[in-house]
Every structure is written in structure tokens, then in C-alpha cells.
A and B are shown apart, each in its own frame.
Chain A
């Protein structure tokens, strides 16, 4: 493998642009992967998709990072069965462009289209429909996993289920996902029918979501974290479903499955090092955004991009946070622990750490995967600029509130928690480790995240 003699060392970060480390980045077609991982040194190997996890999940300091070129990057759609087989490096964006015009949609989409199918499985991602439909791993029929010994296993919920569920949410640490077959959902149109409601405070929001979320497929609330006191938790609740043909206007009905999202602009790499998001700009934005939302509007017809992926309109928006980058904080607390969530929101609002809108979502039943993040309860997600003062004290304090309430943190977002926090939040960690160790006894698959959080306590080399 001449290519491995002097692989290019590259500095990698997650989407939050914190914590850069150097890895040997190799872009290889599938058939060259077994040889590449055999040559992996003591620092191991890991697959990186589009780098949209916020922390250090997709980097491997001092080791190999693989970019999959795929067998041929393709999607094969079986319209009869409503299933698609894709190579793992295919993004949700790629996939939607193929399947939406043919009347299908992905069963779960996160807030950005720019994640790969492999990453979606490895993080067991969730979307606005989690409360009724669960997470991504529930919709995989089977997948091909390249194991540490160079062999390829076909696994799924019915084939080697232990290994399959350890791979779902397993952050790429059980093997390299090469290909997956997914079940899709049928849609009549490429539009969404959306209801929007302004909520004056946190109590009314939680009450509304508790009482009627289960009647709608997609539901999410945006909370203004700058608002304090009486306005604490003021928010906009947005719910919707795929529009039926009879809901479209005459112009849209001409081509009900038309789909072609595009970026309006991209943030150039020349943002000042301090970033442009501070308390003043964020407060102004949040105020404007709250005021522009209607008090109540039902049946608005919008595109898939506008409803599911609003931030994708601006490319590289993470650059707005400047040289110090940002952290995304996401946790879940069980139902009945609303007081803990209120404490978190109060502390964030009081901290003055400029935070954009936080996203509140109600989770339904969890997955059987031992490291899958979603669990029945409330999940809150927010960005904080990396340059915030006293951020460490704030976040470690919030961690304790979340863990004491029986909650946990999301690996795909995490950039700051500790092995202890993970042990407490994921009581089935040892079960997962046992399965992982059985297929990777020498610790080939490693990442900065696995080292930082003690997911892979292999020999220190």
C-alpha cells in the first residue's frame, strides 16, 4: 500500500470548529478498505462522513480517518417495496433528490440534509417525528459492516441483532458501515402543511406539547433563551405533516413532487475572529424572529427544506461564531423531570451566554440500541459560542442537573462531558462495550470522542 507510506496529515474538527487534532486522512474506494485498516497503527482508524457532528466524534488524533468513496456512490430505489439501498457515504441531501420526485421520503431527517446515511445510523439520529416514529435505526432493513478483521458482515434487526444494535448509535466504533437498505415512507407531495403557534411561556408550551403532540407527525418548538422572567420560555411551536395533493394550490399542483432545494448564500472564511454572534445581535435576532411568527396560523404550505432544514439555506453558518467556534448542548430528561429542564433554561437565560433559539422536542419511546440517545422525555438543544466567559462552570453545572434528573447527553453533539457523565447517562455502556470488544478485540476503531469519554479503553499506545 504505497498510499499509506506518507498519508496526508490533516487538521480536523467537528461542526463546532473546536478542538482540532491531526489525523491521516485517506480517501478510498470500498475494496481498498480492508487493506487500509490492516495497516492501521496503534492509534486506529475511523470513518468520517460530512463532519456534521459538533464535537470530536469524527476525528482520530494521530490515527487514520477514512473518507469512503463507496463502491459507486449510488442509491438503488425499489418503488414496489418502498426501500432504498445506498452506500454509506450518500447524504440525506443526495437521497432526497432521488426519492422525493418519485414519491418517497426518508423516515427520519435531522435539522440538516448534509449528513451521510452511515453517520445517521452511527449516531442513531432523530427528527421532529421522534415522538411517534422513533429514531433512524428503526428503519434500517440491513447493512454491511466492515469489521476490524477485514471481513464484511451483513447485519440488521434480524441478522446478528446484537451487533446491529451496537452499531446503531455506536459512533462508528463497531466497524465501518459500507452500505444500508432503508425503509422509506410514501408522500403525495413535496410540500409540508404547517401549523404555527406562539407560546408566551414555558408552562403553556409544555402543556400544549404534552396534550396534543401525539396527534401530529412532526412537532418542534423554538425557545427564546434570551427572554427572562415573565417571558422565560417564550417560544414558537411548529407542527406539520406532509401535505396531501388536495391541500396544494393550483400552481403547486402542476408538479406536486417538485424538489430542488438550494443555498442562498455561504458564510465566507473571513469572519472576524471574535465572531459576529454576541448578546446584542442574538437578542435582536430572537426578538425579530418571535415577532415575525404568527400568533396562530394553520395549514401553511411550505417546502421540505424550509420546514426541516432551515439552516441549510446558509452554507458554513458555523463560521459565524468566529475562531473560538461553538458548542452545541443537547440533553434529554425523562417526563416528570420538567423542573430540571426549567432549571437549565433559567440558568442559561441568566448566564448571558449569547445563545440562539433553543430547540425543544418531545421524545417518544427509545430504541433498543444500548447507546442510542433518545429516551422518553424532553430534549433541549442549543448553541453557545466557544468564547463565552465561564462556560466551563456553566456547562459542568448543567450536566449535574441533567444527570441527577436521570437524563443524558448526545454523543453526536457532545464536546465537553466526561467519562463519568457517560457512565451515568448510559447505564448499558458495559453491555455495548462487551459486544464491541467481541468484534474489535484489539481496538482498531477509535476516535477522539471514544478516547475522551472512555468508550474504548483499549491499551494506551
Chain B
């Protein structure tokens, strides 16, 4: 259960090695926190991430979770809830970035689309069903500004985020009647393991900054949060940029 200070007791991170996801977990930690479950494909990396979170009176568990193995998602979430009790906040943070070549390689594109869209949908529904039963809880879903207007460079990633973003908003509106809060996070370029070696985009930010904005938005029950906040207006302009001009922009 959350307490009246909006401090969760049980936190689940799907994509347990995600830099942004882990930063959100750290931002949520309080004396009220009892368990953190890191669900990730590479459990060794997950154990390393867990070591960075450890403190007294906190149970941290790393469980095997593969975003691509969509048929396993419901059982994994059910098992976590059975062992630890109610999930107060679930962060859905796994995704593949792909690269510029993905757009030309159908099988690579299919993998990115499958994990980022189908996997996120099945995992989020698994969590949502659990939270609906509980009658309380929140889902934080990591979308991206890339989904707001998809760039020419990496259309598969952008397209998958656009799909996930729309899915999450629609599901969130359904869940509101069930006492479940959905927050869609739209970060810009974030310096993290996922983007290591890439040329930073303008208004680049850090996982910690994204986490602060996310947790603040979570506590004020917002539906969408941009990180940094100014991107909301930047993307508003970009969305209305005429195609010929948009194609020539280097973003």
C-alpha cells in the first residue's frame, strides 16, 4: 500500500537494468519502501543494479523477465504479486533502441517492434490486471518524445513508441475508473547506457532529472509528463512543422 505521503511499499521495475527506470526507483525509495523487484533479461546485470540500491529493511529481488517472451508476462507478474503482495508502483521501462540500419532490415525491425510494442502491451496489461484486482496502484510507462513525431533516422523505434504512447493513454483512461493511475513519461534525449556513443540531441537530460519530474508527476496524479518540461512546447511546434521542412531538420 502507498501511505498518505504517497510513498510506495512495493515497487516493480520491468526492464530492471534501465538507467531511467532505476533512477525512478531511487527517487521513490523512502523508509516506507519494503520491496523492489527488478525484472530483467540479464539477471547478472540486474544483480549489479540491485547492489546499488541496497539498504536496511529493504528486500530487493531480481527476476528473469524477457520483454520479447510475451506469453510469459502474465505469469511472471502474478508470481511477483503472490510472493510480495500488492504492487504499488510498476515501472514499464524496457525497450530496444535499434539504430539507423534497423529501418532497412525487416527482421531487426520486427524484433524492435515486437519488444517495444507487443512486449510493452502484454507486460502492461499483466500489471494492469493485477492493479485492477487490488483496487489501487500506479503504472509508470516510459514513452519517448520520439513517438510524438517520428524522425526519419530511427522510424521503427519512434513508431513503436508512438504506438505504446497511444496504447498507454487509452488504457490509462480505462484504468482510472478502477482506482489505477497511469503516467506516461516522455523523455527527450537522456544520457544513459542506451544512448551511449550517440550524438546528444538538444535539451538532453539525465536519468535523475527524468526521475525527479516523473515522481513529482506521479504524486500529483498527472497523466503525461515531459522531461524536460519545455519539450512539450518544442514538440508541439515540431508536430506542426510542414513535411518538406521537417525532413530537412537534423534532430
Contact residues of A with B, CB < 8 Å? 9, 11, 16, 18-23, 43, 55-56, 61-63, 325, 327, 386, 391-392, 395-396, 399, 415-420, 448, 451-452, 459-461
Contacts and interface: CB of A to CB of B under 8 A. Distances in A.
B193 interface: no
B61 to A, nearest CB: 14
A43 B4 contact: no
Given A19-B3, A452-B1, 6 more contacts: A43-B135, A61-B136, A415-B4, A416-B32, A418-B32, A459-B82
Q: Which of B1, B81, B82: most chain A CB closer than 10 A?
A: B1
Interface of B: 1-5, 7, 9, 30-32, 34, 57, 81-86, 133-136, 178-179
A392 B34 contact: no
B7 A392 contact: yes
A43 B133 contact: yes
Contacts of B9: 452
Contacts of B2: 19
A61 B172 CA distance: 19
Most buried by B among A56, A391, A418, A420: A418
A383 to B, nearest CB: 12
B1 to A, nearest CB: 4
A56 B1 contact: yes
A184 B83 CA distance: 48
In terms of DSSP, what is the predominant structure of the interface of chain B?
A: loop
A252 B86 CA distance: 58
A31 to B, nearest CB: 27
B4 A325 contact: yes
Nearest to A11: B179
Contact of B4 (A62, A416, A420): A416
B30 A392 contact: yes
Contacts of A22: 135-136, 178-179
7 contacts: A11-B179, A19-B2, A22-B178, A22-B179, A61-B135, A61-B136, A448-B1
A419 B34 contact: yes
A20 B180 CA distance: 10
Given A9-B178, A452-B3, A418 B81 contact: no
Contacts, number: 83
Contact of A62 (B5, B57, B135): B135
Contacts of B1: 19, 21, 56, 61, 448, 451-452
Nearest to A392: B5
Contacts of A62: 133-136
A375 to B, nearest CB: 24
B135 A16 contact: no
A415 B57 contact: no
A395 B5 contact: yes
B134 to A, nearest CB: 5
Contacts of A417: 3
A63 B133 CA distance: 9
B174 to A, nearest CB: 14
Q: Which 8 A-B pairs have the closest CB atoms?
A: A415-B4, A22-B179, A62-B135, A18-B4, A61-B135, A452-B1, A22-B135, A21-B136
A448 B86 CA distance: 10
Contacts of B31: 392, 396, 399, 418
Contacts of A392: 5, 7, 30-31
B175 to A, nearest CB: 11
Given A19-B4, A61-B179, A460 B57 contact: no
Contact of A461 (B57, B82, B84): B82
Contact of B85 (A18, A63, A415, A451): A451
A337 to B, nearest CB: 22
Nearest to B134: A62
Nearest to A460: B85
Contact of A391 (B5, B57, B86): B5
Contacts of A23: 135
A356 B85 CA distance: 37
B82 A416 contact: no
A63 B30 CA distance: 27
A73 B228 CA distance: 57
Contacts of A20: 136, 179
In this complex, the member of B3, B30, B34, B133 whose beta carbon has the largest number of chain A beta carbons within 10 angstroms is B3
B83 A416 contact: no
Of A56, A391, A416, chain B has the most CB atoms within 10 Å of the CB of A416
Contacts of A61: 1, 86, 134-136, 179
Nearest to B2: A19
A63 B134 CA distance: 8
A392 B219 CA distance: 13
